[in-house]
Structure formats: structure tokens, C-alpha cells
Amino acid sequence: MTRLARGGRAGRVPLLAALAASSACASTTAALPTSSRELVMAYDDARATGPLAFPTETYETVVRFQLPDGPHKPLRLRFQAEAPGKIEINIYGSTLLETPGDAIRTFTHELSKADLSDGRDGRWVVEELAGGQPLQGTVWVGLRKTDGKPSIWACNVTSGQAFMRDNNPQNPMGLIPTRRTPMLRLEVAP
């Protein structure tokens, strides 16, 4: 028997009863998963060297992501913001010519001072993508401003996966490779 103090008085509680009570509480808690798998896709080197601005509302920076075989559940999109303003984010499918196709998902984000990073502090804007349709093959992520003067951080890596384009209906400009890669991460799960 084990002696336990209760309310200032000593009493005797059988050891088995104490163990049974503690195991009953443990069995009512849900077991947490011990591991999961995610794929974090990025083409930058994690060293921001300067901001990437959007000169007009039709200008878009686009990053191409090639997913491994099979469908993948979209989880998150991360980027580092340098200046406040409102941006539109598009996730596109790919055409047969390996260019951005129809938008799979579109959302906007108002970048506030709380979202801003100095490029070295590890602060990322996170967009949750849960609930979206599975992604597979080649997908493109495009960012463009819709209000203010937002900018995002980029690095000096020439990845071959970062492009700019202008969707101006009067003077459209196709994909042009850029020497700098936006600090943009796409997270998916198999």
C-alpha cells in the first residue's frame, strides 16, 4: 500500500486503485500521430538579397514547380514579404506548352507591417491550402499586386524556374526567365 496525503490527513489508498485511475485518464486522450511526410519545394537558397517589386497590377512573378509522380495534397504556400500592400496569389495548372494554364486556386492577401521580413529573420507569410484539389505534374504559382506597393524577397539564384510576365490586354508579354528567384515555398503531402 502507498500512503498519500489528502486534505492534510494521511490515508491509505491501494496501489492498484491509484494505477487504475491514472491509466483510465491516459486512455481517454487521443493518440497523436508520431510522424507524417511533407514535401517542401523551393528554388531559392534561403538568402534574401533584395526585394522583387511589381511595377504594374498586370505584372506577375511566376514560379514553376514540378511535383513528383502522383497526386499531392496541397498544404501551405510560404513567401517572405518585404513591403506592405495587397497581392493576389494564383496557383495554375500547366498547358501542353509548359506555360501557366487555368487558375486552380486564387486568393488575396493584405500584407501588413506584421507580415514583413528583413529577409534574414525567418518570418514567412503562410497561406494555408488545405481543402484544395490535389495537385500533380507541373503547377505554377503566380503573385501580382492589386493595391499599394507590395514587394517580396528574392535571392540571386538563377533557378530556371522563375519567370515574369505581363497580362496587360493591350500589350501582353509572355514568360521571361528571371535571374533572381522569389523566396517562395510550396508544401504538399503525398
> Which CATH number is associated with domain 39-189?
2.60.120.680
> Which amino acid is present at 74?
P
Is 155 buried (19+), middle (13-18) or exposed (0-12) by CB count in 10 A?
buried
Domain residue spans of the chain:
1-32, 39-189
Query: Phi and psi for 133 in degrees, rounded to 5?
Result: -65, 150
**Per-residue confidence in pLDDT tens, the chain, 190 aa:** 444 344 444 444 444 444 444 444 445 566 666 658 899 999 999 999 999 999 999 999 999 999 999 999 999 999 999 999 999 999 999 999 889 999 999 999 999 999 999 999 999 999 999 888 999 999 999 999 999 999 999 999 999 999 999 988 777 788 999 999 999 999 999 8
pTM of structure: 0.79
